[in-house]
Amino acid sequence: MTLRKTAFALLAELFILCSFAGAFDTLKIVATLDTARQEIYGAVEYRLPSNPPLGTLEFQLFPNVYSSDTTPYLRESKSIAEYFRQKKRFFGITVDSLLIDGINRTADLKIEYTRGLLADAGTDKFNNRRVQIYFRTMIPEPGDRLSHLRGNYLLDGWFPSPAIINSDGSWYNPFYGGFTELVGEYYQYDVTFRAPSNLISVAPVPASDSIQQMGMTTYHYIFGPAHDFALILSPEYLVDTASIGSTTIRYYYRGYERAVLPSLKEWCRKTIDYMSDHVGPYQYKYLSYAFVDFAFVGGLEMPAMVSLSSPRGAAMTTDLGRLTATHETVHQWFYGMIGSDQCRNPWMDESLADFFAEKVLKYRQEEPMPLWRFWNFTFSDRDYLRLGMTMSGEGLKVDAPAYSFTNDLDYFGTIYSRGALAVETFENIIGEGAAQIFWRRYYDKYLFKHPDYDDFMQTVAEIAGDDYAEMIKPLFNSGDKIDYAVSQLENRKMDSATYEISFVLNKTGALKYSVPYRIILYDGGELDYHWASDFASERIVKRLPYPARVVIVDPNNKLPVDADLMNNSLLFNGDSRPGMRLSSGLTFLVESLMSFLGGM
Amino acid sequence: MREVLRHFRKLLKYKLLWSYLFLLKLLISFLLIVPIFLESNSRLAPSLHSSPLITEWNIGVLVELFVNQSELPIVYLLYILVGAFIFVGIMQFLNGGLYYLMVSGEVGTNKWREFFAECGANFIVHLKITLFMTVIYIILLPASLFFVNMIGVAGQSLMGAAAIIFMLFKAGIIFAVLLAASIFSDSIRAASTVHPGMPLTELIKLGANYYRPNMIKMVGIFLLTYMPFLIIWGLVESLSLGAVSIFGGMVGIILELSLFQISALARTGQKLWYLILFGRHFKETNPGRFLPEQVQLNLE
């Protein structure tokens, strides 16, 4: 390389690094956890950017989602809302004072639900101004992402955070309706947090220093770039550590959760290895897992942290716990490092997390690992996704905002299950090789950024071409169910050496995909064809030396989003054995029920 | 223990009754299942996707089965429950004759006229006992669940097989509570047999008088007779698993169905075996109308 070329490359790198570093502002937080009052009080400080021009100032007050049982958020979290209603206690965040460049502007502040708004900048714009927000957050008991229970604290969304600046200088303040999760820009966090010394504090990184004084410990954390900063505190935590590459993994658990650790460690390692190999490397130095007491069973993703509900009930006897741990670990990529909007495009992290979780679970396995296998009963991760998709309502789009859903079945069935199957269908359509390039490109392009639906499709077009991008759009932006079916199979003997095989292929939904189909003849021969599926149905007629035993549309299950897999194949002579076995089992079940009720 | 085993021979003397009761259960089950078979088979038979069901209880196939008819499982469940309640109704008719034979200890092929006469005469009272016991079960079930939930805290840290065993232990507690209640039900039914025509409140008192001192013994007898059934049930489940995986296809399915029926037959036999022992013991304590005539004469 010549000197000129080297100098040019160095300058270019320096330019890229500078713009990269400049993209992240520092968010300074100083706060104290008051366990007597179950409150956090403190201040958030940040400097607004020099452009685009900012005529107003907005910030987010997430804890206000718990401010009454009629908030859009709690309307869809019915059990928590009901508990608060019974206890007649609601929670939220109070802004004690708002200072702009040291001048108190609290009187001009308007608070609407989770939106803090200062409309008037005075004579000048808000650009380059220093914002200081003094706040007090009441911590709900119990709750979901911000809660405390029996002296254990889960603190997420606990401080006022800046709203997101659009390119035209307007603000995007996410609407926290039902099923929404926190949305934020990427920042460097400089957090000073005071908590009682008996509490073990779990943060995305270890404290750079800590001072113990009068029964209180002050921790100092430097972390970023990240779009959130969460803390988990418990007096009961034990800690175990492991290393995966250059990442230190920390596991926080209570004594009675120790038995889960080997499985958690194994799946954490598998997930990190898989995601690093197939998407991109994990960027943080630490990743912490902590068992917490939620008001629900599942897990919660936070940058460089995963919280998992304590393994009780179903999670112990099935492998759902393993699925949850894998799903939340995948979120470190799709949410943590590639920060999509969890309010407007929840599928861009949840569908991808479920999709990759299934890939991790069946990676290098001959058969998909069952989530539940007892005696002769099997229930796989795939069954779990299909059950979820089946139970969700009709006409719902994968690319719908979280707040547009009104019940759990629709939200989880559409965004998690159908979304994961749609992503798998997309991957199958563009092919394994293109898919590998796609995920790497998507990661490189949007690392520590917030891609949206258009960005995703643009990357698809970039890797697979515009036609493919157009083809896969109905998987995400159409509420129509996608179903391919085969019907009306007939075999007609034409002469001693020829049979006319006739059947109808049907299609429901807007997907324009040349779907493969297979004819299996009575001599065992298999013939593969493609159907362009330009029309809703088409009669296919073939002349072959043997009659058809079975016709299968999409024989390799390339379209897992297909709403009904039972009609994908048609046997010329039906097989009653599955029906008979089912009936045999049901007969015994009914006999047992009768013995129980009738005593005989 | 020896007494329990000795009375197993007596069960064989009731082999016709045993067979008929089993066949009744089987017949009603079949009648309930046939429409379900016809409906599900029309979806399962033409599809290759249903084939895993031949060798395993694949939940995924069941999910696809109901994919476009999500209301069907609920309809089936309600349908089966209604059928089961009809069976319970029929059993209340048969209980009259059944408890008569078990308490009186009468054995013989010419007893059918007496059997059905007792069935007809005691139908109403058995129906009343069932309604009364339904209330008891409704009260006991949440009460036992409350207790189970209390001890559930102790097992919250268990994982894997230990958790399943703990779950079975919790199920065992509910079973024990319901078993104790069912023995109380047997006591009232036996009382109605030895004192026909007695009002229900009196029968409950009589039943309770018998139940209080004998409950533990009867639970023990029930469990002793239940153990062989449990072993048969476990064996049947294991063998049926082997049958479908080793033989496969229709042979495996027929073998499995036959094995299931052996288990169902064993369950009917278990209850009869227990009732023989229970009836004999009840008659010893409360002979009522079965008091031998010469003893009555002696008393006079």
Q: Where are the alpha helices (DSSP H) in B155-248?
A: 160-194, 200-242
| Closest by CA position to A202, among listed A160, A163, A227, A231 | A231
- A570 in B contact zone (CB under 8 Å): yes
Whether the predicted pLDDT of B172 surpasses 90: no
A236 interaction partners in chain B (CB closer than 8 Å) = none
* Residue A102 located in a structural domain: yes
Structure tokens at A128: 């380059």
Are residues A199 and A273 part of one domain?
A: no
- CATH code at position A543: 2.60.40.10
Are residues A216 and A137 part of one domain?
A: yes
Structure tokens at A385: 């996704």
pLDDT digits (tens, 9 = 90+) for A91-112: 999 999 999 999 999 999 999 9
Choose the most confident range, by mean pLDDT, from B2-16, B60-74, B102-116, B122-136.
Answer: B122-136
**Neighbour-count burial of B128, counting CB atoms closer than 10 A to its CB (0-12 exposed, 13-18 middle, 19+ buried):** middle
Sequence length of chain A is 600
Minimum mean pLDDT range among A69-73, A572-576, B7-11: B7-11
* Percent of chain A's residues with pLDDT above 90: 78
Q: How large is the C-alpha radius of gyration of chain A?
A: 28
* Residue A587 located in a structural domain: no
Are residues A413 and A487 part of one domain?
A: no
- CATH code at position A400: 1.10.390.10
Domain boundary among A182, A208, A235: A235
| Closest by CA position to A118, among listed A174, A65, A55 | A55
Whether the predicted pLDDT of B39 surpasses 60: yes
Cα four-point dihedral sign A73, A78, A82, A84: negative
* pLDDT average, residue stretch A470-497: 95
- The whole-angstrom distance between B213's CA and the closest CA on chain A is 23
Whole-number pLDDT of residue A314: 44
Are residues A264 and A205 part of one domain?
A: no
Nearest CB to B87; choose among A386, A552, A594 = A594
pLDDT digits (tens, 9 = 90+) for B180-216: 999 999 999 999 999 999 999 999 999 999 999 999 9
| Closest by CA position to A186, among listed A223, A228, A145 | A228
pLDDT digits (tens, 9 = 90+) for A2-32: 445 545 444 444 444 343 333 458 999 999 9
Are residues A469 and A490 part of one domain?
A: no
A568 interaction partners in chain B (CB closer than 8 Å) = 47, 49
Whether the predicted pLDDT of B145 surpasses 90: no
Are residues A503 and A472 part of one domain?
A: no
- A550 in B contact zone (CB under 8 Å): yes
* Residue A160 located in a structural domain: yes
Are residues A431 and A408 part of one domain?
A: yes
* pTM given for the model: 0.87
The structural domain count of chain A equals 3
Q: Are A595 and B68 a contacting pair at CB < 8 A?
A: no
Whole-number pLDDT of residue B156: 57
* pLDDT average, residue stretch B17-26: 94
**Is-contact A203 A245, C-beta < 8 A?**
no
In angstroms, the CA B168 to CA B224 distance is 19
**Does an H or E element contain A138, and which?**
strand A130-138
Q: Between residues B75 and B298, which one has the greater pLDDT?
A: B75
Are residues A207 and A120 part of one domain?
A: yes
**Is-contact B101 B14, C-beta < 8 A?**
yes
Q: Where residue A259 falls among pLDDT bands split at 50, 70, 90?
A: confident
* Residue A585 located in a structural domain: no
Are residues A71 and A163 part of one domain?
A: yes
pLDDT digits (tens, 9 = 90+) for A118-150: 987 666 789 999 999 999 999 998 888 999 988
- CATH code at position A218: 2.60.40.1730
Whole-number pLDDT of residue A23: 40
Minimum mean pLDDT range among A316-320, A339-343, B167-171: A316-320
In angstroms, the CA B292 to CA B94 distance is 25
Are residues A385 and A300 part of one domain?
A: yes
Block residue for tokens 């034409």: A494
* Residue A13 located in a structural domain: no
Phi-psi domain of A215 (left: phi exceeds 0; alpha: psi -120 through 50; beta: other): left
Whole-number pLDDT of residue A513: 92
Whether the predicted pLDDT of A576 surpasses 90: yes
**Is-contact A354 A419, C-beta < 8 A?**
yes
Whether the predicted pLDDT of A534 surpasses 50: yes
* Residue A50 located in a structural domain: yes
Choose the most confident range, by mean pLDDT, from A37-51, B97-111, B141-155, B233-247.
Answer: A37-51
Minimum mean pLDDT range among A157-166, A253-262, A464-473: A253-262
- A152 in B contact zone (CB under 8 Å): no
Mutate to test the interface with A, among B33, B148, B255 (most CBs of A within 10 A): B33
* Residue A244 located in a structural domain: no
Are residues A103 and A35 part of one domain?
A: yes
Q: Are A580 and B64 a contacting pair at CB < 8 A?
A: no
**Neighbour-count burial of A588, counting CB atoms closer than 10 A to its CB (0-12 exposed, 13-18 middle, 19+ buried):** buried
Q: Between residues A42 and A408, which one has the greater pLDDT?
A: A42
* Residue A9 located in a structural domain: no
Predicted interface score ipTM higher than 0.85: yes
Are residues A321 and A219 part of one domain?
A: no
Domain that holds residue A224: 24-235
Domain boundary among A192, A210, A235: A235
